[in-house]
Chain A
């Protein structure tokens, strides 16, 4: 973390102009008429006069100038819900801004992590722009967003942003923390149709489109503490000296995930002897031989390949105290 921050400080170019941003063109290019375009209409008529001569006349030219429409979308690149671990200090939420308007527009980003109706408040460490435009977070190349140097997008251009957060250490399983991410036109916000005179591209008026110059995304971080949990319990029968039999029960819980090719192995404790044929997986007996089923005892340790399931599984075996 420390090293990354230093690297970025070096890579950051304070004087970088907007033109250096690696923007991409939206695939949904709508080819809106650019703000400032003049539309000229002239009609023509021809007719024959009383002498039979053809006359051609033109109307007056009418010109109107296209004003700027501020319109854009902001969407989450992944899901509106993200699973995180408690204490995770490198949570990344990726969103995409696309300028659907007909003029260049700047976009201010604010994140509110202190909403009241969730379980925890993530800590926003920074917002990073996908400066190189590759859709990936590149700490050495992508620049940190700073108010006052908002990304500016031409019509149909888009840029990804990464909201970086930390999850509090104390968060427990299945808790929710909501990030409210607002993206606003730097020209202004308000009701649809609101006009900012002379504030558009080239001095034309700017008018707020459908979104009113602001788009809000609420992204929910959900703690899913999916670190596998392995518990071991023992039951001693027949006294506590030589000849006593200890039954070990190992419970593997992958916390809602299905682990593939997970192998649970456990060496036989010193001073004990494995009880042949005592191995079982979730109540089903296994042989001690390798290769014929999921379990084996190799003379020193038991090993069981767990089933790929979200249900907690138990492995049991017995040893006798020497």
Chain B
């Protein structure tokens, strides 16, 4: 028996970790690689009494937890990767909340048509159509014009464990 969230990692520490992982990729033959990670957002009160958002390894999650999915990419080649599009299906137990990245994320409620959430609609069983909500999102994607040679970056989305 012990308290949860024993090990935590601050957001800043996360970025350091993300940058560090480029090294193994560089030694690899694959020119472009993706890496998926999941963290859990926890609110902690610091010694000075301030509330801060902390990202912890998602080694113990329960319904209601907010999970941050981080997809890192690296182009270790000397060539540009053009029309680079990352697509992430949202797992069924996750209620999508938001996404961000170097390019504006697009979402989909059917895995086929992507766009801004406000431009999407959902058809009900009776044929009526309503505006899509975050809870309807099934996929999120980020479309880059190109990824420069020997570069890296990451995109993120946030969801709540249902």
Whether A66 contacts B93 in the complex (CB less than 8 A), given A45-B34, A48-B83, A59-B34, comes out as yes
Instruction: Judge whether B161 and A45 touch: CB under 8 Å.
Output: no
A33, A68, A205, A209: the one within 8 Å of B161 (CB): A33
Question: How far is A74 from B2 in the complex, measured between Cα atoms in Å?
Answer: 27
Majority secondary structure of chain B interface residues (helix, strand, loop or mixed):
strand
Q: How large is the interface on A (under 10, 10 to 19, 20 to 34, 35 or more residues)?
A: 35 or more
Instruction: Judge whether B3 and A45 touch: CB under 8 Å.
Output: no
A47, A55, A197: the one within 8 Å of B1 (CB): A197
Instruction: Judge whether A39 and B91 touch: CB under 8 Å.
Output: yes
Interface residues of B in 84-109 (CB under 8 A from A): 84-89, 91, 93-94
Instruction: Judge whether B58 and A64 touch: CB under 8 Å.
Output: yes
Residues of A within 8 A of B35 (CB): 59-60
Bitwise interface map of B from 24 to 68 toward A, beta carbon under 8 Å scored 1, else 0? 000000111111111000000000000000000011111110010
Residues of B within 8 A of A33 (CB): 63, 93, 161-162
Question: How far is A194 from B84 in the complex, measured between Cα atoms in Å?
Answer: 44
Whether A44 contacts B81 in the complex (CB less than 8 A), given A102-B62, A102-B63, comes out as no
For residue B1, which residue of chain A has the nearest CB? A196
Instruction: Judge whether A50 and B80 touch: CB under 8 Å.
Output: yes
Instruction: Judge whether A48 and B82 touch: CB under 8 Å.
Output: yes
Residues of A within 8 A of B94 (CB): 39
Instruction: Judge whether B82 and A62 touch: CB under 8 Å.
Output: no
Question: How far is A196 from B37 in the complex, measured between Cα atoms in Å?
Answer: 26
Q: Does B124 contact A (CB under 8 A)?
A: no
Q: How large is the interface on B (under 10, 10 to 19, 20 to 34, 35 or more residues)?
A: 35 or more
Q: Does A16 contact B (CB under 8 A)?
A: no
Q: Does A61 contact B (CB under 8 A)?
A: yes
Q: Does B79 contact A (CB under 8 A)?
A: yes
Interface residues of A in 1-46 (CB under 8 A from B): 31-33, 37, 39-46
For residue A30, which residue of chain B has the nearest CB? B63
B1, B62, B79, B89: the one within 8 Å of A194 (CB): B1
Question: How far is A44 from B88 in the complex, measured between Cα atoms in Å?
Answer: 6
Bitwise interface map of B from 62 to 79 toward A, beta carbon under 8 Å scored 1, else 0? 111001010101000001
- Using A47-B83, A59-B34, A67-B60 as known contacts, list a sample of 5 further A-B pairs with CB atoms less than 8 Å apart, ordered by residue number in A: A43-B36, A44-B34, A46-B84, A47-B84, A207-B62
